[in-house]
Structure 1
Amino acid sequence: MARHVVEGSERQPVEGSRRLHATDPHEEIEVKLKLRRKNDAAYQDLIHKLEQGEAFAAMDRKTFASKFGTSSEDCKKVHAFAAAHGLKVVREAPQSHLMVLTGTVAHFQKAFDVKLDVYTHPKYGRYRGRTGPVHVPDELEGIVTAVLGLDNRPQARPHFHVRDEKDATGDEPQPIAFNPLQLASHYKFPRGDGRGQCIGILELGGGYREKDLQAYFSLLGVPMPEVVAVSVGGATNDPDHDPQGADVEVALDIEVCGAVAPAAKIAVYFAKNTDADFIEALTTAIHDDVNQPSVISISWGEAEAGSTHQFTTRFNEALQMAALLGITVFASAGDAGSHDAGPDKPDTVDFPASSPFALACGGTRIDEHDDGAEAEVVWNDGAKGGATGGGISTRFERPVWQDGLSVSRTKGDAIALTHRGVPDVAGDASPASGYFVIVGGRVGVVGGTSAVAPLWAGLVARINGIKGAPLGFVTPRLYRQAGVCKDIRHGNNGGFASGKGWDACTGIGVPNGDAIARAL
């Protein structure tokens, strides 16, 4: 029987990893398969219209599942394959082209022609990894488009920076801090509270404590929003009690969007930090018939080069689903400047912010001067303090709404943008002008582009509530509406400089919420 490579599935160990030993062949693991969709030609026609910036009515979840889900025939073939290889199908979601299998390492190695080993890494610790591609037999060729979860290395990192007050006292200009309501006023958000909306938040670790949220919203004098935790793949709301850990990310996300849209429900989708679970978290949120988020905020990501092509392709397709269903998705652009893969690596951008179907959120710093005036510049506080992510994708072509744009390098001339440029928009992100949060019973100041995604999510939830309908895929319209964002023209993120119009530091700028509401 012939074996066929799953396109884009090639893997290598994380740089700096050391192989320890073979994985226990009797260990039970879970693997997620992404399958092809029905009616692909009709689907691609709709995606082409989105890519051309055409506006059309959003599709409801039931219609999408019926028209573009996975066929029952393809699902049956996977069931047969699993049974023949000692594997078991434990979950299937044909509306999002997902089937989840369990079995032993030995059975999975034989079924997909891979070898799984245990590696150790100074930063990521132990993980199960593989090298080379994944294979499928004749009967699944073209049906299975990705095999995820054989490798369980950490897939993403949160994009936040906790301000170190000892280091901040000598800064010029002096550090300041805001609560989200002050920033909503600074960015002229329209009056509203997000009533009737749900904001989905993806989290790949950590958790929240009710008493922290109650204390925070009481301190701001706004009603406590309804917050629900949604388990994905067995992960739960599980605070880790680490003052520098994922709990900070979870608190920041909930407190920022909850403060500016307190009448919106907030659904927090908890998943494990792997490529397989990251995709399942997103598709679960998109197809959640119970909570029905109209806005999704993602504050986790990784350099494009750190992901397999099968992962970025399938994740991008999930973001396309969100666009077709009228869901606006915001993604943090990263906190390592133009060097998202590391200071000694070539310039690169963060994924999923680099997907054309995510609204990529970069960062600024707000400086308050002695006369009380505020100036806003590109966030770049140096290697220790962080800087806004931004640059040029190597995975995605330039979308039509970025046609004719150029990018200015910090050292060198402007060059024409040939691939997807990141970010699209920006907002306050520097720890030096950070956000007050409460986490673990303590008040602190946190920055990072992690704060910008939920801030924009709260803005769109407000507008959706006012409009009585979701804005949906707004990116092309934002680029075409002059004056809805304030241009940021000073600063750089390492490799790229800001300037007039779109740039690879702050995109088209920071929001003028009233203008966005009027235009959209």
Structure 2
Amino acid sequence: MKKEFLRYWCSLSLLLTLLLAACGGGGGDNGEQPTKQPLVTPTVPQTATTEPVTSCPARLKEVRTCLTPYTLRQVYGVQSLIDKGYTGKGQTVVLIESFGSPTIKEDTDAFSKTFGLPPADIEVISPLNVPEKDPHNDKYGWMQETTLDVQIVHSIAPEAKIVILVSPVAETQGTFGLPEYRQLEQYILDHKLGNIVSQSWGASELTLQDKAARDELNKWDALLKKGALEHHITYLSSSGDSGATDYIDQESTRLGDKPTTVFSASNPWGLAVGGTTVLPKKSGGYTERAWNGSGGGFSSIFALPEYQKKLPAQVQQMLQNRRGVPDVSANADPATGLAYYLKGNWSMAGGTSASAPLWAGLIAIANQMAGKPLGFINPALYQLATTPAYNQCFHDITTGDNTNREADVEGYPAVQGWDPVTGLGTPNAEKLLPELIKIQHA
């Protein structure tokens, strides 16, 4: 998430410097009509090059844990779908961002050229006529956020259209920025912009406890419910980057001393996406563990949704009728991230800001495969988790935890099945997406 990204990037910069020194070297569909067949056969794949790029550019090249679009797709079983022509073509992913980035098109062109991707189809819309508000003077941080969101979606679904919906008001903590974001969400419905909405931001529930906050969240709940059920939109939200707790103040300077979750990930009408650490194995391939920063836990605002009642009895004892976060996860550790390009510089994407748009790209591919928007997929995912196909469709993460040692807040371990740090796990897309479509079509 943007608010914590710079903090993690400072730590990562030091890590990269040490690594490089040691090595000697110097991150819409617009309501298509349903088809009769469960999977749509695509046209011939449209790719810019046939040779995969497996090494990161520039100074990141010597960082063994740096990922390229190709290697990221290999980790999550996406490359075989790309090879068959499932590239997100005909789909639209909408990103909700503050301020956006004035160089997003040039930067993504350079990113695409480096990694042999087709040019990205990007549209920037700034529909709000309200005064600019940036209390933390953090436009560069939002440039980073916008850039990594776009380039991750483009890496996973290279032929999907990306709409950046820009607010002139920063989202910080509490309700600051949320009314403007809600207007953008309404704009998506009114103008039928797309059926996938990715939200790499969040407000700590510790800052959303008063009546004004609850009133705002009630408006959000009604809007997201309408979008999910009536407009068939899949909402994806970052689960947070502070582990089992989050900030307690508007300035994001003081961490809470008790567990919490973040909105909008805690809203039950969207898919909450947590984080993992992806590491290459010496023998080839990759392994994953829970990323310590992955936001996860139990909402103090939203009750247990019906779909999470499918989880086993021992999990229900933890949930205690509360919405559990996250639902799923993907790579979010900034030390193992995708290389992304901003204003002449290569960095590595990190935070659950990276895992949410990755899942958005997967849903673009799934919608293309299905020939229609899948919409509200949470019930189908939890139903799938009760079947024998679960172990083929998901990488079940069983190591690591999200204890926040800075705040001394004990987190949760990653265990077999769902857990409040990695959810159901990370995707094996070539198995998961067909099964997901099958359940949604049933």
TM bin, normalised by shorter chain, reads 0.7 to 0.9
Q: Distance in 2 between matches of 1:276 and 1:458?
A: 26
1:54-453 aligned at under 5 Å gives the runs: 158=3, 160=5, 161-162=8-9, 164-168=12-16, 176-189=65-78, 190-191=81-82, 192-209=86-103, 210-234=105-129, 245-271=141-167, 272-273=169-170, 274-289=177-192, 292-307=193-208, 308-324=213-229, 325-341=231-247, 342-380=254-292, 387-403=293-309, 405=311, 415-453=318-356
Q: CA deviation at 1:167?
A: 2.7
Q: Distance in 2 between matches of 1:313 and 1:177?
A: 41
Residue number in structure 1 paired with 2:418: 502
TM-score, normalised relative to structure 1: 0.63
Q: Distance in 2 between matches of 1:393 and 1:367?
A: 30
Q: Quick one: which amino acid aligns to residue 232 of structure 1?
A: P
User: After TM superposition, where is structure 1 displaced by more than 6 Å over at least 4 residues in a row?
Assistant: 235-243, 406-409
The one-character-per-residue Cα deviations of 1:54-85 (angstroms, maximum 9, x if unpaired) are: xxxxxxxxxxxxxxxxxxxxxxxxxxxxxxxx
Q: Would the alpha carbon gap of residues 237 and 294 (structure 1) be closer, same or farther in structure 2, given more than 3 Å must change?
A: farther
Residue number in structure 2 paired with 1:491: 400
Q: Would the alpha carbon gap of residues 296 and 235 (structure 1) be closer, same or farther in structure 2, given more than 3 Å must change?
A: farther
Q: Distance in 1 between matches of 2:132 and 2:117?
A: 24
1:458-473 aligned at under 5 Å gives the runs: 458-473=361-376
Q: CA deviation at 1:343?
A: 3.4
| Structure 1 residue ranges without an equivalent (≥5) | 1-155, 381-386
Q: Distance in 1 between matches of 2:433 and 2:118?
A: 23
The answer to whether the 8 A contact 1:188-1:513 is kept is yes
Q: Quick one: which amino acid aligns to residue 315 of structure 1?
A: W
TM-score, normalised relative to structure 2: 0.74
Q: Distance in 2 between matches of 1:353 and 1:318?
A: 15
Q: Quick one: which amino acid aligns to residue 233 of structure 2?
A: I
Q: CA deviation at 1:323?
A: 0.7
Q: Distance in 2 between matches of 1:304 and 1:408?
A: 25
Q: Which 10-residue stretch deviates more, 335-344 or 494-503?
A: 335-344
The answer to whether the 8 A contact 2:304-2:319 is kept is no
Q: Would the alpha carbon gap of residues 416 and 295 (structure 1) be closer, same or farther in structure 2, given more than 3 Å must change?
A: closer
RMSD of Structure 2 on Structure 1 (CA)? 2.9
Q: Distance in 2 between matches of 1:468 and 1:183?
A: 25
Q: Quick one: which amino acid aligns to residue 203 of structure 1?
A: E
The one-character-per-residue Cα deviations of 1:259-312 (angstroms, maximum 9, x if unpaired) are: 2222221110001221210111111123323xx311110001111132300111
Q: Quick one: which amino acid aligns to residue 255 of structure 1?
A: Q
Q: Distance in 1 between matches of 2:4 and 2:376?
A: 23
What's the secondary structure of 1:395's corresponding residue? strand
Q: Would the alpha carbon gap of residues 194 and 452 (structure 1) be closer, same or farther in structure 2, given more than 3 Å must change?
A: same
What's the secondary structure of 1:491's corresponding residue? coil
Residue number in structure 1 paired with 2:47: none
Larger strand fraction of residues: 1
The one-character-per-residue Cα deviations of 1:473-504 (angstroms, maximum 9, x if unpaired) are: 00110111132222101011011111111000
The answer to whether the 8 A contact 2:205-2:263 is kept is yes
Q: CA deviation at 1:181?
A: 3.1
Q: Would the alpha carbon gap of residues 176 and 280 (structure 1) be closer, same or farther in structure 2, given more than 3 Å must change?
A: same
Q: Distance in 1 between matches of 2:130 and 2:70?
A: 31
What's the secondary structure of 2:318's corresponding residue? strand
**Bigger Rg, which one:** 1
Q: Quick one: which amino acid aligns to residue 166 of structure 2?
A: F
The answer to whether the 8 A contact 2:75-2:285 is kept is no
Q: Quick one: which amino acid aligns to residue 306 of structure 1?
A: T
The answer to whether the 8 A contact 2:310-2:382 is kept is no
Q: CA deviation at 1:414?
A: 6.7
Q: CA deviation at 1:238?
A: 13
Q: Quick one: which amino acid aligns to residue 517 of structure 1?
A: L
What's the secondary structure of 2:225's corresponding residue? helix
The answer to whether the 8 A contact 2:2-2:145 is kept is no
The one-character-per-residue Cα deviations of 1:196-225 (angstroms, maximum 9, x if unpaired) are: 111100002341412111101111111112
Q: Distance in 2 between matches of 1:466 and 1:344?
A: 43
The one-character-per-residue Cα deviations of 1:229-273 (angstroms, maximum 9, x if unpaired) are: 111313799999979611100000111102222222111000122
Larger helix fraction of residues: 2
Q: Distance in 2 between matches of 1:215 and 1:237?
A: 30
Q: Distance in 2 between matches of 1:344 and 1:242?
A: 23
Q: Quick one: which amino acid aligns to residue 437 of structure 1?
A: Y
What's the secondary structure of 1:432's corresponding residue? helix
Q: Quick one: which amino acid aligns to residue 185 of structure 1?
A: Q
Higher RCO, 1 or 2 (CA under 8 Å, sep at least 6)?
A: 2
Q: Quick one: which amino acid aligns to residue 178 of structure 1?
A: L
The answer to whether the 8 A contact 1:431-1:445 is kept is yes
What's the secondary structure of 2:277's corresponding residue? strand
| Structure 2 residue ranges without an equivalent (≥5) | 23-62, 171-176, 248-253, 404-410, 438-442
The answer to whether the 8 A contact 2:278-2:289 is kept is yes
Q: Distance in 2 between matches of 1:236 and 1:438?
A: 30
The answer to whether the 8 A contact 2:298-2:325 is kept is yes
What's the secondary structure of 2:368's corresponding residue? helix
Q: Would the alpha carbon gap of residues 236 and 506 (structure 1) be closer, same or farther in structure 2, given more than 3 Å must change?
A: farther
